[in-house]
Amino acid sequence: MRNGCVRTFIGPGRAPGGPAASALLYIWAACGCSPAGATLASGMRAASSPSRPDRPRRSPVRRIIRSLAALAGALLLIAGIAVAAMIRPDIPVDELIPRYGAPPSQFMQLEGMRVHYRDEGKGPPLLLVHGTSSSLHTWDGWVRELAGRRRIVRVDLPGFGLTGPAPDRDYRVERYARFIGGFLDRLGIARADIAGNSLGGRVALTFTLAHPDRVRRLVLVDAAGLSGVPPPTIFRLARTPVVNSILRRATPRFLIRRNLEEVYGDDSRVTDALVDRYHAMVRRAGNRDALVDRLTGPEDPVLDDRLGDVDLPVLIEWGGDDPWIPVACAHRFQRGIGGSQLRIYPGAGHTPMEELPAPTARDADAFLGR
């Protein structure tokens, strides 16, 4: 590194000096990264210290250890600055409601929470259940396609969307299934068709197994719940000590965009509005803590051995390029659930109802009938 580089880093037109510059130059000199840095650092030490007799030269091992320690300190400093730059504060729910919770949104008190939901259209009821870190808005495309023929009911699950965290911090799938039952009771819906994506599919299937008399037909969209599926990277990070503490606060917008581009089969479908919505819902006060609580909580039971107990019509919809739950799982669901139908959408990812709302909604509508 040349003197010009040192001057550029410190700032053009400024003489090297001050505590910050001295510290940086000292680190460079100790690491042996810059002859110029070493000369400057040595000069500053000489100017700031009284003359003293020559000391024996340090051993190479001590010099290496000292260099490594200085490098480690510099890396920790850089890491700390990077994390601090990614920290985003919680957003109070009242600030989000005007944009994401205005009519036709409604709210009800249920299980100690102010639950966000929408109830639109007329006809046979269809309940839509979203996935992890998502919200009822993930089904907007289906509502546009189906609300003229069906009563479309959708809800933000506890820990997600505008509903926010549960007071008891219980985010097990069994709890979500009980929540769905209580929610339908409050709306006076005794029996409905249900569709769920990802975690929502797992919840819908669990509810169906527990209350088969309350479900007429079931649609599983890239559903979770089978064994042998490695969790996505972001889920593994959320289960890692220290890292999950960072994730409770550090969720920059670019990370949300990158996650959506990973989940979508076609990156061009990831719009700024979509990123803004997901980013806002993640930062809804309490939701990041709830996500970590869910992912570090008890493991939900897998459903492989329960598929044969499903005794009603089931449609399985799947993105052909799902990177989180591979399409092989769609075939496992089909083999396990007798008489089930399968539709695969080439080029779509983990949320095909968002990427391809028209064809996925049409196929669901044809399957559900009247």
Q: Are residues 82 and 97 in the same domain?
A: no
Q: Based on the domain organization, do 99 and 125 belong to the same domain? A: yes
This model's pTM is above 0.75: yes
In the predicted model, what is the mean pLDDT of residues 10-14? 35
Active site members: 198, 322, 350
248, 239 contact by CB (below 8 A) = no
CA–CA separation, 316 and 306 (whole Å): 16
If asked whether residues 65 and 101 sit together in one domain, one would say no
Residues 122 and 36 in one domain: no
Average pLDDT, the chain: 85
Q: Which domain holds residue 17?
A: 3-49+58-86
Pick 209 or 22 by higher pLDDT.
209
- Region of 214 (left: φ > 0; alpha: ψ -120 to 50; beta: rest) is alpha
- d(CA 150, CA 145) in angstroms, rounded, equals 10
DSSP conformational letter for 284: B
Is the pLDDT confidence value at 5 over 50? no
Laid out side by side, the sheet with 215-221 consists of 105-110, 113-120, 151-155, 125-129, 192-197, 215-221, 314-319, 341-345
Rounded to an integer, what distance in angstroms lies between the CA atom of residue 38 and that of residue 33?
A: 8
CB atoms within 10 A of CB 202: 25
- 302 and 179 within one domain: yes
Q: What is the pLDDT of residues 153-170, one digit of tens each?
A: 999 999 999 999 999 999
Contact 137, 277 (CB under 8 A): yes
252 with 126, same domain?
A: yes
Model pLDDT, residue 40? 34
Total tally of structural domains belonging to the chain: 2
* H/E stretch holding 51: none
**E-assigned strands of 199-322?**
215-221, 314-319
Rounded Cα gap, residues 156 and 351, in angstroms: 16
pLDDT value at 52 more than 70: no
Helix/strand/coil for 116: strand
Burial of 157 (0-12, 13-18, 19+ CB in 10 A): buried
* pLDDT at residue 14, rounded to an integer: 36
Contact 192, 153 (CB under 8 A): yes
| Confidence check: pLDDT of 343 > 80 | yes
- Cβ-contact 138, 164 below 8 angstroms: no
Instruction: Check residue 112 and give its pLDDT.
Output: 97
For residue 164, the SS3 value is coil
Q: Give dist(CA 330, CA 353) in Å, integer.
A: 15
Assess whether the previous peptide bond of 301 is cis (omega < 30° from 0).
no
The length of the chain, given as a count of residues? 370
Decide: helix, strand or coil at residue 246.
helix
Q: Which of 236-245, 295-304, 339-348 has the lowest mean pLDDT?
A: 236-245
pLDDT per residue as tens digits for the range 243-300: 878 878 778 999 999 999 999 999 999 999 999 999 999 999 999 999 999 999 999 9
Residues 6+ apart with CB under 8 A from 317: 219, 220, 221, 222, 343, 344, 345, 352, 353, 360, 363, 364
Residue 20 pLDDT > 50: no
Q: CA-to-CA distance for 230 and 259, rounded, in angstroms?
A: 16
Same domain for 82 and 127? no
87-121 confidence digits (pLDDT tens): 678 999 999 999 999 999 999 999 999 999 999 99
Q: In this structure, are 38 and 115 located in the same domain?
A: no
Residues 28, 136: one domain?
A: no
Q: Are 124 and 228 within one domain?
A: yes
Residue 17 has pLDDT above 50, yes or no: no
CATH number for the domain that contains residue 311: 3.40.50.1820
Percentage of residues in the chain having pLDDT higher than 70: 79
Question: Does 126 lie in the same domain as 81?
Answer: no
